[in-house]
Amino acid sequence: MTEEHTFRTEGLTKTYGEGVAAVHALRGVDLDIPRGEIVVLLGPSGSGKSTLLNILGGLDRATSGDAFFESDNLTEMSDRALTRYRRDHVGFVFQFYNLMPSLTARENVELVTEIASDPLGVEEALSLVGLEERMDHFPAQMSGGEQQRVAIARAIAKNPTVLFCDEPTGALDSTTGRAVLHVLNDVNARLGATVLIVTHAAATASMAHRVIHFADGAIREVVVNETRLSPDEIEW
Amino acid sequence: MRALDHKLMRDLWRIRGQAGAIALVVAVGVSLLIMMSGMLQSLRETRVQYYESYRLAEVFAPVTRAPARVIERVADLPGVAAAEGRIQGAALLDMPGQALPVRAIALSLPRSMEPRLNALYLKEGRFLSAGHMDEVVVLESFARAHDLALGDHLTATMQGSRRTFQIVGFAAAPEYLFTTAPGEFVPDDARFAALWMHEEALAAAFDLKGAVNEVLIELERGANAQDVLTRVDHLLDRYGGQGAYERKDSMSDRFISEEISGLVATSVVVPPIFLGVAAFLLYIVITRLVQAEREQIGLIKAFGYTDFEVALHYFKMVLVIAVVGAAMGCAIGLWGGRFMAGLYQSVYHFPFLVFRVEPSSLVTGVITSILAASAGGIFVLRGVFRLTPAVAMRPPAPMDFSRTGALNNRLRRWLDQPTRMVLRRILRNPGRIGGAVLGIAVGMGLSSAQMSVMSGFDDTLDLTFGVIDRSDVAVSFFEPMPAATAYAMAHLPGVIEVEPMRSVSAVLRNGRESYRGSVTGLVENARLNRAVRKDMSDITMPAQGIVLARALADTLNIGPGETLRVEVLDGRRPVIEVQVAEVAQTLLGAPAYMRFEGLNRALGEWGRVSAVYLRVDAAEMDALYAALKEMPTVAGVTQREDARAAMQKLMDTGAGAMRYVMAAIAGVITFGIVYNAARIAFGEQSRDLASLRVMGFTRGETSYVLLGELVVVVLLAVPLGIGIGYYLSFLIAAGFSTDLYQIPTGFRAEAFGFAGVAVLLATVISGALVRRDIDKVDLVETLKTRE
């Protein structure tokens, strides 16, 4: 385990249910994710990519195998420790934004900075996503793209070691989607956070440093992009 | 519609916790409605039937000694339908194995055993047989209390002579639905008896041959009772008439009337509260359901179901809950009614008291609950109608909180984000929060008021038997005795202190207000039975003037300094005008006090004593009782502890027991609302809560966001509940207070504290139940779903 790796997994499996009804979501995944990269997990529905993301994000537990975050084994952590891990290191961006409707954009971000150990400034985080003008609006007063950008600002405001994005552009049109990918690209470049993106959209893969193809709960192929495209150049 | 009905069943199953809680609140409301309306109807009908079947007199006219032929003249008076004369007198029973003699009233029966008025309901044994002067029929409730059997013998002292009788029958009588010894307020089956014996036997005992000392009257339909009373009093005046009075002024009938009016008051106020709460709960639960199912509603409408069909689907859900609740309510009401009838039967001696509910009452109960539930449902259905398929199928916009932002700047400095979330949700739904606050407050108010009244009863007992009456034993005489005889009682075994008292029956009059009661003469500085002020300080009996109990002064609408007319009903029946000197604090009865000497002077008698209060060495109590039993002049012996215990028993049964039931079910409302509020908050926020967990908020921090709202609701509700309870306790106490007993009210910290703790407990339990759901939330699943 070197310091260059954010995550490393060994023989990671995840099975839902038992006996004949058992569903093998992950069948022994071995993986290294280097620090500071944008990594895209690609694959059809049910291929296990979201399950992997959830385990690495501390939301779910593996059935067997190990998953290391830096030098800590996530599979051995208590619930409390996993909460701590999410609080200190992890930023999440979801397909449906999951903003608190009762808090303004600024307050949604503050929600995270209040509990983080080394947060960015709230205004800095919001200007990173280009929303400094809309800080005092409630989610109901914003478009889907704007809401997703607030969600990203909220995720990065804690200055996370790693940023998890589950279908971040899934609910957005191409223009807004591109803008969101730009923001993710910027965050990676400026903060050095490792960014993991789960998506169906193969096109997104062209902006990643590394693309991991999933099928049937296992890694089929890992592709390292020699040249990365800017989000503007991506075919939607 | 079959598919929709399947959905209906599954939806109901899914929300079974909440639906069950609401159905329970409906059930409580309906059961109270049925129980009380049935109980009222049963009591009223039974009373009327019993009175009619056994020809209970409508007017009673006690008289010193009237020749039997006067009865015919009374019967001829205008407005009188029938008249009957009888002899009645005090007797003292020597019960085997009991130290204390028992007071009794002996009543005459004509030879036919069928008096024109006040007939007997023979329950066991037989009537008196002709010529057997030593036979007696005994009040059944007394016989039961003492395990008497037919054929047993009773030793009775009447007018100083002691005789033994054989019991041949047990009977009930409509004039003794409720048995209290004369001059007492507390019913006690064991401590007071009614005996029926041959007219000749009683005439001999009371020296009333060819005469009667009570005239019973039945009125003609539509006759003016007041006019008849005046005519009867005029006619009987020369025979020592002691003032005729109506049936409704008799102790037994008054008690049952008080009970009925208490029931009416409660049945009007309480069930609607429950149904209102149920309507409110249904409203919020179904609203939430419709919100959560907007997509499904859109889809169903897109399939081609009409607005009406979809609305009906949700309305059916309301109906099912209401009908299930009402059905449970009917069952509980019928069962509870029977139980209550049993309780009543133990206090009131009806020959039968069948709890009966008119089918129409059941129908009313069910319809009322459906209407109440529909009132809650109807607002929601409007929302279902308005939802077009296109709008419904779009993901819902985030709830708009922009209007609540106003507080933002002021609050920003000192509130963290989770607290802001809590406050904004409250500000956004003021109606719903207000409803929950009000509902909990009403529930709490109801239970705290009931508990206030309960502890008020305790105060009544404490004041009466702890402060006012500090004697151990009260001994009354058949005839007023010379003071010297009374003071001689100090020589009886165990007697430490003797205090004489004079008492006369009287009608007290102030202008048009009048009250039939008595005047009590107390010694100047009475110690064993005294009058006290509100601050519990002694009232020294003034040389002139009269001291009235608060309840009496209120009834007569009179105050200190004003003049009261006292029409004495005993002896030479003087009428005196006397100034009200002071108003005393009493909670039991409505006494009027004068100085012992002053009262005797007004009566034209000197140093006469009706009763003495004794302080007694407890160790010698039995010896004292034995001595008293041998004294022919003693009419009654009352031990303070017995009177207190009997009073306590009265408060704990009948309407008294109802108060405990009410306090308990008020708790049901509180829990129903608190739990529903918690569940709704959880339903609406589960996704937000999961998001917080994902962001690294701990379970405790997440619960704060959810339960914060609940805490605010409860914190607002508790003071409001105290306020409601405080005022409600005055209403309830006023409803229960009579001139027979008064219930003091005031701020009772323990009642409100207890109710408050119950609300907090309901909150903690609800919170714990919902918190368990937070812990179970599948973070991954919740985040992936759209709403």
Q: Which of B300, B311, B373 is nearest to B30 (CA)?
A: B373
Nearest CA in chain B to A144: B397
Range B1-10 average pLDDT:
78
Least confident segment among B108-122, B306-320, B395-409 = B395-409
pLDDT of residue A73: 93
Question: Is the Cβ pair A101, B398 closer than 8 Å?
Answer: yes
pLDDT of B467 strictly over 80? yes
pLDDT digits (tens, 9 = 90+) for B190-237: 888 999 999 999 999 999 999 999 999 999 999 999 899 999 999 998
pLDDT of residue A46: 83
Alpha carbon of residue B381 to chain centroid: 42
Confidence band of A124 (pLDDT split at 50, 70, 90): confident
Percentage of chain B beyond pLDDT 90 is 27
Range B44-65 average pLDDT:
92
How many Å apart are CA B705 and CA B709, to the nearest integer? 7
pLDDT of residue B371: 85
pLDDT digits (tens, 9 = 90+) for B725-764: 888 888 877 777 766 677 777 777 888 888 888 888 888 8
Confidence band of B787 (pLDDT split at 50, 70, 90): very low
Pick B570 or B117 by higher pLDDT.
Answer: B117
User: What's the ipTM?
Assistant: 0.83
pLDDT of residue A2: 47
Question: Is the Cβ pair A136, B405 closer than 8 Å?
Answer: yes
Confidence band of B293 (pLDDT split at 50, 70, 90): confident
How would you classify the pairing of strands A194-199 and B161-172? unpaired
pLDDT of B189 strictly over 50? yes
Cα distance between the two ends of chain B: 27
Q: Which of B218-222, B294-298, B314-318, B600-604 has the highest mean pLDDT?
A: B218-222
Question: Is the Cβ pair B783, A98 closer than 8 Å?
Answer: yes
Q: Residues near B443 by Cβ (< 8 Å), separated by ≥ 6?
A: B277, B666, B667, B669, B670, B673, B721, B759
Report chain B's mean pLDDT, rounded to a whole number: 84
Pick B321 or B664 by higher pLDDT.
Answer: B321
pLDDT of B298 strictly over 80? no
pLDDT of residue B391: 66
Where does residue A233 rank: exposed (0-12), middle (13-18), buried (19+ CB within 10 A)?
Answer: exposed
pLDDT of residue A74: 92
Least confident segment among A205-214, A215-224, B349-358, B776-785 = B776-785
Best residue in B695, B701, B709 for a mutation probing chain A (most A CBs within 10 Å):
B695
pLDDT digits (tens, 9 = 90+) for B55-112: 999 999 999 899 999 999 999 999 999 999 999 998 888 888 777 778 899 999 998 8
Shortest alpha-carbon distance between residue A101 and chain B (Å): 6
Range B355-379 average pLDDT:
82
Contacts of B416 in chain A (CB under 8 A): 114
pLDDT of residue B377: 76
Confidence band of B1 (pLDDT split at 50, 70, 90): low
| Binding-site residues on chain B for chain A (CB distance < 8 A) | 395, 397-402, 404-405, 408, 416-418, 420-421, 424-425, 428, 687-688, 691-699, 701, 779-780, 783-784, 786
Pick B158 or A4 by higher pLDDT.
Answer: B158
pLDDT of residue B385: 75
Going from the C-alpha of B371 to that of each of A59, B215, B282, B285, B322, the distances in angstroms are 48, 54, 12, 17, 9
pLDDT digits (tens, 9 = 90+) for B239-288: 988 889 999 888 888 888 887 887 787 777 777 877 787 788 778 777 77
Confidence band of B407 (pLDDT split at 50, 70, 90): low
3 state DSSP class of B415: coil
How would you classify the pairing of strands B192-198 and B102-109? parallel
Q: Which of B292, B448, B372, B363 is nearest to B22 (CA)?
A: B372
Confidence band of B487 (pLDDT split at 50, 70, 90): confident
Question: Is the Cβ pair B401, A101 closer than 8 Å?
Answer: yes
pLDDT of residue A50: 85
How would you classify the pairing of strands B513-522 and B592-595? parallel
pLDDT of A1 strictly over 50? no
In the numeric block, which tokens belong to residue B510?
Answer: 């102030």
pLDDT digits (tens, 9 = 90+) for A44-55: 888 888 889 889
pLDDT digits (tens, 9 = 90+) for A17-34: 888 888 889 999 999 999
Going from the C-alpha of B84 to that of each of B50, B75, B195, B224, the distances in angstroms are 19, 8, 18, 19
Question: Is the Cβ pair A96, B417 closer than 8 Å?
Answer: no
Question: Is the Cβ pair B405, A84 closer than 8 Å?
Answer: no
Q: Which of B107, B161, B174, B178 is nearest to B136 (CA)?
A: B107
Pick B736 or A64 by higher pLDDT.
Answer: A64
CB pairs under 8 A between A and B: 100
pLDDT of residue A39: 94
pLDDT of residue B732: 76
pLDDT of residue B236: 92
Least confident segment among A223-227, B180-184, B700-704 = B180-184
b/e map B361-400, b = 16+ CB within 10 Å: bbeebbebbbebbbbbbeebbebbeebebeebeeeeebbe
pLDDT of B479 strictly over 90? no
pLDDT of B135 strictly over 90? yes
| Contact (Cβ atoms closer than 8 angstroms) between residue B659 and residue B453 | yes
DSSP state of B704: H
Which residues, in sequence order, are bridge partners of residue B59? Answer: B217, B246
Q: Which long-range contacts (CB under 8 A, 24 or more apart) does B304-307 make?
A: B305/B4, B307/B384, B307/B385
Which residues, in sequence order, are bridge partners of residue B219? Answer: B80
Q: Residues near B316 by Cβ (< 8 Å), separated by ≥ 6?
A: B5, B8
Which among B395, B399, B698 has the least Cβ separation from residue A101?
B399
Question: Is the Cβ pair B398, A80 closer than 8 Å?
Answer: no
Range B654-670 average pLDDT:
68
Least confident segment among A13-17, B308-312, B525-529 = B308-312
Question: Is the Cβ pair B405, A100 closer than 8 Å?
Answer: no
Percentage of chain B beyond pLDDT 70 is 94
pLDDT of residue B783: 65
pLDDT of residue B563: 94
